[in-house]
Amino acid sequence: MGYKLNLENLNIALKELSKEYRIFAPKVLSGEGTFSDTDIVRYGEIETVQEIEFNKKSQFSYKEVLLPIRQTLFFFTEDQIKEAEVEEKAALIFLRSCDMNALKRIDDMYLRNGFEDIYYKKLREKAKFVLIGCEESFDSCFCVNMGTNKTDEHDAYLKVSGNYAFVDIKDSSLLEVFASLTKEEVEVTPDFVEENEVKVNIPENLELKVMNSKMWAEYSERCIACGRCNFVCPTCTCFNMQDIFYKDNKKAGERRRVWSSCQVDGYTVMAGGHSFRNDKGQRMRYKVLHKVYDYKKRWGYNMCVGCGRCDDICPEYISFSNCINKLEDAMEEVK
């Protein structure tokens, strides 16, 4: 059972929720696109439902709310260390099914991979998630083949139609906020896409020897190692460490972690200067097999959720979904 209420009342609910939560949703950032006079859709704080962009895919995912692009972990002096504070206020995040499924992958990495990351855990524990349905697939999505077109992990669901909002609230604390508002009880069922135009086929017989295929050579030429595909990916979780020393006291500073990318130069540089995967085709191979091969061996499902953002953002028009679809022939080639 859910509710139908008008957008004015939904905004009253959002205002009430903003006392406890920072509210994040995909929104249009005018003039902030890659090229001059272009817009970008990415996550930002909102106050009203009208600010949410429902009709376009966000180019970046919500992950920067829980895993900031740059995050100070601790401050240090010569003989003292002080852990950095983590944002006190909880986050309420509006997101689509693919991203809800991506959250499970980020939790794997930061909570279940042999240790719990305290910085992530503090933000994650308090966060609530509101599902935005998908009436239709966007052009580059392939969530259906990745099995991520549906979810039931959300705390609430929201659909906007005209001047009305249709909500289904599973979380009791969120439900309380709606108690005093004028609303009508209605059946609300999430919209999930059942078909994408883009189809992918991950061959059943995929094995590590696909590393030896000639297919990777194409990417040595075409990829420019910009890392954009990793930064927009809701399931990429790698970071680098930076120690920043203050100018006025060079013996004090802070340690930060900063998003990183397995496609960029320097990612695999070891102490002593040795670097693995200097070739960009090798980096592509590493990324692809991590997303659709070895992760599944460890966790039982693929890492990639088929959001298609990497295809949308690549300046060299390299398509991840096309790459997956070459794996079958590649396995034939190396068998």
Q: Which residues bind ligand SF4 (CB under 6 A)?
A: 223-229, 232-235, 263, 291, 304-310, 313-316, 318, 320
Smallest distance from the beta carbon of 67 to ligand SF4, in angstroms?
Answer: 14
Distance CA 118, CA 124 (A): 10
Answer for the pair 200, 322: CB distance below 8 angstroms, yes or no: no
Cβ-Cβ contacts under 8 Å for 295 (sequence gap 6 or more): 105, 301, 302, 303
Closest distance between ligand SF4 and the C-beta of residue 228, in Å? 4
Going by C-alpha positions, the residue among 56, 47, 48, 46 that lies closest to residue 6 is 48
Q: Which is nearer to ligand SF4, 116 or 139 (CB)?
A: 139
Question: What six digits make up the tokens of 64?
Answer: 């920067």
Write down how long the chain is: 335
* Min separation Cβ 234 and ligand SF4, Å: 6
Query: Which CB sits closer to ligand SF4, 157 or 320?
Result: 320
Task: Name 308's Cβ contacts closer than 8 Å, sequence gap at least 6.
Answer: 57, 138, 139, 140, 141, 142, 198, 320, 321
Which C-beta is closer to ligand SF4: that of 9 or that of 260?
Answer: 260
Give 22 or 326: the residue with its C-beta nearer to ligand SF4: 326
For the CB of residue 153, give the shortest distance to ligand SF4 in the complex, in Å. 17
Give the DSSP H/E element, type plus range, for residue 97.
helix 97-111
**In this complex, which beta carbon is closest to ligand SF4, that of residue 84 or of residue 225?**
225
Token pair for 23: 């509210």
Q: Shortest approach of ligand SF4 to residue 144 CB, angstroms?
A: 13
Q: Which of 143, 304, 148, 131 is nearest to 229 (CA)?
A: 304
d(CA 25, CA 303): 23
Which one, 87 or 316, has the nearer CB to ligand SF4? 316
Nearer to ligand SF4 by C-beta: 175 or 226? 226
Separation in Å, CA 29 to CA 5, 42, 50: 28, 7, 14
Minimum distance, C-beta of residue 257 to ligand SF4, in the bound complex (Å)? 20
Q: How far is the CB of 23 from ligand SF4 (least distance, A)?
A: 24
Q: DSSP per residue over 145-203, as a string?
A: HHT-S-----SEEEEEETTEEEEEE--HHHHHHHTTS--EEE-------S--SS-----
Instruction: Name the residue nearer to ligand SF4 (CB basis): 9 or 151.
Output: 151
| In the complex, minimum distance from the CB of residue 308 to ligand SF4, in angstroms, rounded to a whole number | 5
Contact 151, 143 (CB under 8 A): no
Is the distance from CB of 135 to CB of 189 less than 8 angstroms?
Answer: no
